[in-house]
Structure formats: C-alpha cells, structure tokens
Amino acid sequence: MIRMSFAAVATLLSIGATAAQTLDTLEPRRPVLKSEATVTGPVVRVGDLVENAGIIAKVPIFRAPDLGFTGTVPAEAVVAAVRTHALIGLDTGGVTEVTVTRAARAIPAKEIEDIVARALSVQYNLGKPSDITIVFERDMQAMYVDPSAIGSPHVARINYETRNARFDATLDIPTGAGSRGTLRITGRAQATVEIVTVARALERGAILKESDVVLERRPRAEVGRDAITERNQAVGLAARNVLQPGRAVRSAELMKPDMVQRNETVTLIYEVPGIVLTVRGKAAEGGAEGDVISVLNEQSKRTVQGTIVGPGQVVISTAASRLAAANFAAASSADNSTKP
C-alpha cells in the first residue's frame, strides 16, 4: 500500500486549484445583459448594454434617446442585435428591458427667462431684472445640451416694442465641446411692481394682520404712486373703508387703528415737572395714537383737549396741565391751613 504524507497531499491540492484558476482565467467570461445604462453620445453601443461584450463593445446598435431623456429597449431586441455581430449566449439574467438614459446638462427655463430680463433691463431701461415679468409666446421648457458644453447662454440680439411690450430675441447657446447654436424666442415683457392687496374682504376699521396681506405683481404702468408696495406698510393699520381682495391697497385707504372710542372712559394725564396727575374722563370722540381729541374731565366737568398716547390714555396739553397743577397746589395749601 502506498502511503502519502500530509504535505504531499496538500501540495497536490494546491497544484490542482492553481490549474483550475488558470483555466477559469483563460475561459472568456459570459456576456451579461445590464438592466440600465447611461450613454453620452447619439448612439447606443453594445458595451453600453452588455457586460463582457469583448471586441464588439464599441459597435453601435441603437439610436440613443434625445439629450436628457430616458427610453427602454426590450431584452429580445438586444439579443437579436448582438447576434448579428456573432455574440452568442447572452445571459439576460431575467431582465426583460434595459433602461437607457442620455446624459445631458440642463439649462432651466428660469435661466433663459433671467437672461432675457437682464438684457431688457440694460438695453431698454425697464427697471431691475427682478421687476420684469417675461411671458414666452411658446411654453418654455428646460433645454438639454451635451455634458461637455462649456459656458452659459447669452443674448446675441434683442428687439423690444414699448407700445405692445413684445420682444424678439436670439440667444447663443453652448451645445457641446467647442460648439454653439442659436435659439430664437419671442414673447412679452412688462416692467412690474409688487403691490399689497388683501386675501379677503375687510370691513371699515378692521386691523390688517399678517395673514390678511397678499403681495401680487402688477404692470408698473397700471399702479399709481400711492399704492402700498411693502407688507410692513400695511400690517397693523386699519381699513379706512371696505377693502376688496385683488385690488391694490392705497395709502389713503389705511389709517392708524383707533386707540380710543367715542364715549369710552379714559385716563386723563396731566404732566408738569415734578407732578403727574391722573383723573377719569369720557372721550367725546374717537381717535388713533397721536390724534388730538376732546375729553370731558369727570371731576371738574370741563371739556379739555388732549393727545392720545395709548389705549384709553390721553395726555392733556401743557397749559391745562399747569392749571391743574396750580389748582392741586392751591387745594393742598388750603387743606394744610385748616389743620391745627
């Protein structure tokens, strides 16, 4: 009986494994169908869709989708296409269709709009670009160019008619590495301004809250100089008359909210250096902060004029304050003289 040492057995096993690995390396890998692919050119090549395509990897077999778009190719169509190039035994791995995307660089429609607005602002003095509203004659969609395209679009030519606000522009567009194209666009452009309107109908005296104020853009030519354009110019003020949604709110239609109502009981404040007197009074009229109104002093039964300084608070004029202080001092002296 032949006996082999453990070392000899290990050596034989190692030689066998190495030989198997060598044979595996020499045997070409089986081509496998991909489930998705991204291409950068106008055609789809075998290697884009098949792993291990070998020497035919660069052979074109299909037309690529348009720039920035995605399409699908049935697995059967791929198998049939590669068979004509002697690629046999393609493993589909259960894939029924391949998703193919054409790589591209997107130029958003908003970028085109901004470029046109800047050109109109500079050449036709229509105000700030952000205040120019552009409406294209045809719906403007994002544009797609080759990923290798360098640079941004710019306006090569633009004409603008003030009487009807129409423009006609030609844009220079980068399309690929070292190549450019042109795009003609038409539409209307108007200088606009942001105005304040209200979200709902507001009655006279209603105080405008943040949620009541809406900012809308309107053609500058249609907006008067007294239209309110800032949110903070309206919030906290009261409607002088009924305000309707959709209409520009004008400065004359707002007022400070009343802090004192007619016939309301208020605090009359008399101030002179060193003395502050307060008495109850009744407002003969209503008013907002800073308004001068008539108030009945309930103690003296005299009507005095005062300035509203806060809710239910009226400061009496200097002359009246001095008179009140003098009467207070006289009353104090008389009171002291009667004491034993």
Query: Domain boundary residue among 51, 85, 103?
Result: 103
In a domain, 10, yes or no: no
Calpha distance 100→109 (Å, rounded): 25
For residue 323, tell me if it sits in a domain. Answer: yes
Is 112 found in the same domain as 181?
Answer: yes
Which pairs from 56-62 meet CB under 8 Å and 24+ separation? 56/82, 56/85, 56/86, 56/87, 59/85, 61/85, 62/100
Same domain, residue pair 79 and 93: yes
Identify the domain boundary among 191, 209, 236: 191
Length of the chain: 340
Residues 265 and 318 in one domain: yes
pLDDT tens string for the chain (340 positions)?
A: 444 454 544 454 455 555 445 444 445 689 999 999 999 999 999 999 999 999 999 999 999 999 999 999 999 999 999 999 988 889 999 999 999 999 999 999 999 999 999 999 999 989 899 999 999 999 999 999 999 999 999 999 999 998 999 999 999 999 988 899 999 999 999 999 999 999 999 998 899 999 999 999 998 888 888 999 999 999 999 998 999 999 999 999 998 888 888 899 999 998 877 788 889 999 999 888 888 999 999 988 899 999 998 889 999 876 555 555 555 555 455 454 444 4
- Write the CB contacts of 240 (distance below 8 Å, at least 6 apart in sequence): 204, 252, 253, 254, 255
Please state, in angstroms and rounded to a whole number, the distance separating the CA atoms of residues 226 and 209: 20
The verdict on 224 and 151 lying in the same domain is: no
> Same domain for 218 and 291?
no
- 98 three-state secondary structure: strand
Residues 76 and 113 in one domain: no
CA triple 281-286-289, angle to 5 deg: 95
Q: Do 320 and 251 belong together in one domain?
A: no
The one-letter amino acid at 265: T
* 86 and 111, same domain (yes or no): no
End-to-end CA distance of the chain: 149
Question: Does some domain include residue 15?
Answer: no
210: in domain: yes
**Best CA proximity match to 299, nearest among 263, 265, 249:** 265
Domain count, the chain: 4
Q: Are residues 117 and 182 in the same domain?
A: yes
Tell me the pLDDT tens digit for each residue of 179-225: 999 999 999 999 999 999 999 999 988 999 999 999 999 988 888 88
Entry pTM: 0.60
What whole-number distance in Å separates Cα of residue 140 and Cα of residue 59? Answer: 37
Q: Is residue 197 part of a domain?
A: yes
Rounded to the nearest 10°, the torsion over CA 111, 115, 117, 123 is: 180
Residue with tokens 């602002």: 121
Determine, yes or no, domain membership for 236: yes
Burial class (CB in 10 A: 0-12, 13-18, 19+), 18: exposed
Asked whether residue 120 falls in the same domain as residue 45, the answer is: no
The residue range of the domain holding 200 is 193-256
Q: Is residue 47 domain-shared with residue 117, that is, in the same domain? A: no
State the CATH number of the domain containing residue 307. Answer: 2.30.30.760
Considering the domain boundaries, does residue 21 fall inside one? no
162 shares a domain with 215: no
Identify whether 184 is part of a domain. Answer: yes
What b/e string do you get for 192-221 counting C-beta neighbours within 10 Å, with b at 16 or more?
bbebbbbeeebeeebebeeebbeeeebebe
Of 71, 103, 135, the one marking the end of a domain is 103
At residue 336, the pLDDT reads 47
